[in-house]
């Protein structure tokens, strides 16, 4: 789903994962696992900690805003032409976890960044599912 106002746009994605929240949380917060599904980073899951992630196309920097273990994680997401926020919400469901990704506060005038995020997140989520299947 996409929402808009005059200043910002948002993206929302949901995935039903066949893995418990504890395992999904590890993939979202352990830098070694983050590097497998999104990009190499120096992420530390502590509120106020800054981090960077790097890929061939550029670098993303951020700061951890919220840590609610196995329930909610949010951080700023600042990349080429983009200053925004990413929030992950984990809900335990029978047989696994409902994972919700909200990418918010994307400036309306950052069309390239918006469309890049809209196209990029589904691939990252696919890679996350593969990483989850590969770890204990």
Q: How far apart are CA 59 and CA 80, in angstroms?
A: 7
Q: Would you say domain 2-134 falls under CATH 3.30.530.20?
A: yes
Task: Specify the DSSP class assigned to residue 57.
Answer: T
Q: Is 81 left (phi over 0), alpha (psi -120 to 50) or beta?
A: left
Q: How far apart are CA 79 and CA 68, in angstroms?
A: 25
**Do 124 and 38 meet the contact criterion of CB atoms below 8 Å apart?**
yes
pLDDT, tens digit, 9 for 90 and up, residues 92-125: 999 999 999 999 999 988 888 888 889 999 999 9
pLDDT of the residue at 82: 79
28 C-beta neighbours (distance < 10 Å), count? 21
- The answer, yes or no, to whether residue 1 has pLDDT greater than 80, is no
Closest CA to 5 of 86, 93, 88, 108: 108
pTM: 0.91
* Residue boundaries of the structural domains of the chain: 2-134
Structure tokens at 107: 């400036």
pLDDT of the residue at 14: 97
pLDDT of the residue at 6: 63
pLDDT of the residue at 116: 86
Q: Predicted confidence band at 13 (pLDDT cuts at 50, 70, 90)?
A: very high
- The answer, yes or no, to whether residue 41 has pLDDT greater than 80, is yes
Count of H helices and E strands in the chain? 3, 7
- The answer, yes or no, to whether residue 9 has pLDDT greater than 60, is yes
pLDDT, tens digit, 9 for 90 and up, residues 64-88: 999 999 999 999 999 876 789 999 9
Identify the H or E element spanning 35. Answer: helix 31-37
12 C-beta neighbours (distance < 10 Å), count? 14
């Amino acid at each position: 789903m996409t929402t808009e106002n005059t200043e910002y746009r948002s993206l929302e994605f949901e995935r039903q994962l066949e893995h418990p929240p504890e395992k999904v949380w590890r993939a979202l917060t352990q830098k070694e696992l983050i590097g497998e599904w999104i990009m190499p980073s120096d992420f530390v899951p502590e509120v106020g900690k800054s981090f960077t992630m790097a890929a061939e196309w550029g670098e993303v920097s951020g700061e951890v805003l919220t840590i609610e273990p196995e329930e909610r994680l949010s951080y700023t997401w600042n990349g080429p032409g983009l200053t925004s926020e990413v929030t992950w919400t984990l809900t335990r469901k029978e047989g696994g976890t409902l994972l919700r990704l909200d990418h918010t506060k994307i400036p309306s005038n950052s069309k390239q960044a918006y469309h890049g995020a809209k196209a990029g997140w589904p691939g990252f989520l696919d890679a996350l599912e593969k990483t989850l299947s590969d770890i204990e």
